[in-house]
């Protein structure tokens, strides 16, 4: 341990939020140093990453939906499960090397937050990938726990803290106490499904086909789940399904609200199910402590209010919902000795 801490002074120990949509890397003492989409561009039909392994992140995201026949841009963690181990490894390796740099002689210790729903086999794959990418020691933590810590919730105390993390591919709901997860649920409905719902709505109601990126922009710009003081509208461009030609139309926030109904209900049902499973003492704490929303999906206008109405609890957003898991991994790094017990750090345990 002493040797480990000494080495830690010379290497860039890092915390990684390996998200289905975005990967963030935090370095001890420096905060967030990398924030890129979890996307990899490969030669179609292979798992060879383009540009000598460098078509990862921002560069690759720009290719999504626009790739010519010979290239495909892949989100290896899309549904919260690792669809392709090799590509995930290439991506994680790229991010670790990018932050660590080749000049650094000592290997880093790495804390990685992974979706709590992933299997032991997938955890082992993440673990091995990080080791192969040059990590000296790898610790895996559950994403909701990291989110709670990043949000500054008293997760280690004898009181309940509840996190609802709405990401791209998965929504993770967890009630924590005494540095452990008491109840958790993870569903594969989150931001991506909201985009998908918008695509379907426009196809059904306007005969207009739009891409995933356009749908995401619409959601971010005018998406909401409760009435807005001033309703919004936006021009949308895509391809007409009947004529096959490019066309534009205008959609309103009311229409998008209708489109988002289904995925949002699924998220809220998941929250109520988790609450129903909580022990009475923990439930009692939540009346006082409320529920905290994290992840990019938390930013959907009105989600906090609607969730508050359906649970009867105080629902609030954590500070900067998109980075709170990464900030949580940084707290783990600062307190490795303290938190070690609660983390899985040996591949044999997985
Ligand atoms: P993950 O942890 O799975 O990588 P993130 O927490 O990074 O996911 O959140 C990404 C999701 O949040 C995406 O689906 C994105 O469209 C969505 N998102 C980001 N900003 C907003 C916003 N302002 N309103 C609604 N959704 C948003
Ligand atoms: Mg996340």
Largest Cα–Cα separation, the chain: 70
pLDDT for residue 148: 97
DSSP 301: B
Contact (Cβ atoms closer than 8 angstroms) between residue 48 and residue 71: no
DSSP 230: S
pLDDT for residue 71: 86
Segments of the chain scoring below 50 in pLDDT: 103
Of all atoms in ligand 1, which is nearest to the CA of residue 21?
Answer: 4
Distance 241 CA to ligand 2 centre (A): 34
Enter the tokens of residue 337: 């000795």
Tell me which residues have their CB closer than 6 angstroms to ligand 1. 19-22, 167-169, 191-192, 216, 219-220, 223, 295-297, 299-300, 322
What residues form DSSP beta bridges with 293?
164, 317
Give the chain's radius of gyration (CA, Å).
Answer: 21
* 27-58 burial code (b ≥16 CB/10 A, e <16): bbeeebebbbbbbbbbeeeebebbeeeebbbe
Distances from the Cα of 110 to the Cαs of 43, 150, 202, 324, 329, in angstroms? 29, 16, 43, 17, 9
Of all atoms in ligand 1, which is nearest to the CA of residue 38?
Answer: 4
Contact (Cβ atoms closer than 8 angstroms) between residue 18 and residue 126: yes
Return the number of other C-beta atoms located less than 10 Å from residue 245's C-beta.
7
Contact (Cβ atoms closer than 8 angstroms) between residue 296 and residue 21: yes
Best of 17, 19, 21, 304 for a ligand 1 pocket test (most atoms within 8 Å of beta carbon)? 21
Beta strand pairing call for 171-177 and 161-166: antiparallel
Distance 279 CA to ligand 1 centre (A): 31
Of all atoms in ligand 1, which is nearest to the CA of residue 22?
Answer: 4
What residues form DSSP beta bridges with 172?
165, 186
Question: Which of the ligands is closest to the CA of residue 35?
Answer: 1
Nearest CA-CA partner of 296 in 145, 143, 142, 171: 171
**Strands lying side by side in the sheet with 208-209:** 208-209, 233-240, 246-252
What residues form DSSP beta bridges with 23?
18, 36
Distance 129 CA to ligand 2 centre (A): 19
Rounded to whole angstroms, how far apart are CA atoms 316 and 293? 6
Enter the tokens of residue 93: 């390796």
pLDDT for residue 313: 98
Distance 298 CA to ligand 1 centre (A): 8
* 269 contact partners, CB below 8 Å, separation of at least 6: none
SS3 62: coil
Rounded to whole angstroms, how far apart are CA atoms 164 and 339? 22
pLDDT for residue 349: 58
pLDDT for residue 78: 84
Rounded to whole angstroms, how far apart are CA atoms 200 and 297? 19
Cα 301 to chain centroid distance, Å, stands at 18
Kindly report the protein residue whose alpha carbon is nearest to atom 25 of ligand 1.
Answer: 300
Kindly report the protein residue whose alpha carbon is nearest to atom 18 of ligand 1.
Answer: 296
Question: Which of the ligands is closest to the CA of residue 197?
Answer: 1
Contact (Cβ atoms closer than 8 angstroms) between residue 82 and residue 126: yes
Distance 69 CA to ligand 2 centre (A): 31
SS3 147: helix
Contact (Cβ atoms closer than 8 angstroms) between residue 328 and residue 147: yes
Distance 3 CA to ligand 2 centre (A): 32
């Amino acid at each position: 341990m002493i040797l480990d801490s000494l080495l830690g002074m010379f290497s860039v120990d890092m915390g990684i939020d390996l998200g289905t949509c975005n990967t963030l890397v935090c370095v001890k003492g420096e905060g967030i140093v990398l924030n890129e989409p979890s996307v990899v561009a490969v030669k179609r039909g292979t798992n060879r990453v383009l540009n000598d392994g460098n078509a990862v992140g921002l560069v690759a995201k720009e290719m999504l939906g626009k790739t010519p026949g010979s290239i495909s841009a892949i989100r290896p963690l899309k549904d919260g499960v690792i669809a392709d181990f090799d590509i995930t490894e290439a991506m994680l390796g790229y991010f670790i090397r990018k932050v660590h740099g080749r000049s650094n002689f000592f290997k880093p210790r790495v804390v990685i937050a992974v979706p709590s729903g992933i299997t032991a086999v997938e955890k082992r794959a993440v673990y091995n990938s990080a080791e192969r990418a040059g990590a000296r020691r790898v610790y895996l933590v559950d994403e909701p726990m990291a989110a709670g810590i990043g949000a500054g919730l008293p997760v280690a105390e004898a009181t309940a803290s509840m996190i609802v993390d709405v990401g791209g591919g998965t929504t993770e709901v967890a009630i924590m106490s005494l540095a452990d997860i008491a109840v958790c649920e993870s569903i594969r409905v989150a931001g991506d499904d909201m985009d998908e719902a918008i695509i379907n709505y426009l196809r059904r109601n306007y005969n207009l086909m739009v891409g995933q990126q356009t749908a995401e922009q619409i959601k971010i710009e005018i998406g909401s789940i409760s009435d807005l003081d001033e309703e919004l509208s936006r021009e949308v461009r895509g391809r007409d399904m009947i004529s096959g030609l490019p066309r534009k139309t205008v959609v309103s926030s009311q229409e998008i609200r209708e489109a988002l109904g289904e995925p949002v209900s699924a998220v809220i049902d998941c929250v109520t199910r988790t609450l129903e499973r909580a022990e009475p003492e923990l439930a009692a704490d939540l009346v006082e402590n409320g529920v905290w929303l994290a992840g990019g999906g938390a930013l959907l206008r009105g989600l906090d209010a609607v969730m508050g109405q359906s649970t009867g609890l105080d629902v609030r957003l954590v500070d900067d919902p998109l980075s709170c898991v990464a900030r949580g991994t940084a707290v783990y790094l600062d307190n490795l000795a303290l938190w070690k017990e609660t983390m899985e750090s040996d591949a044999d345990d997985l």
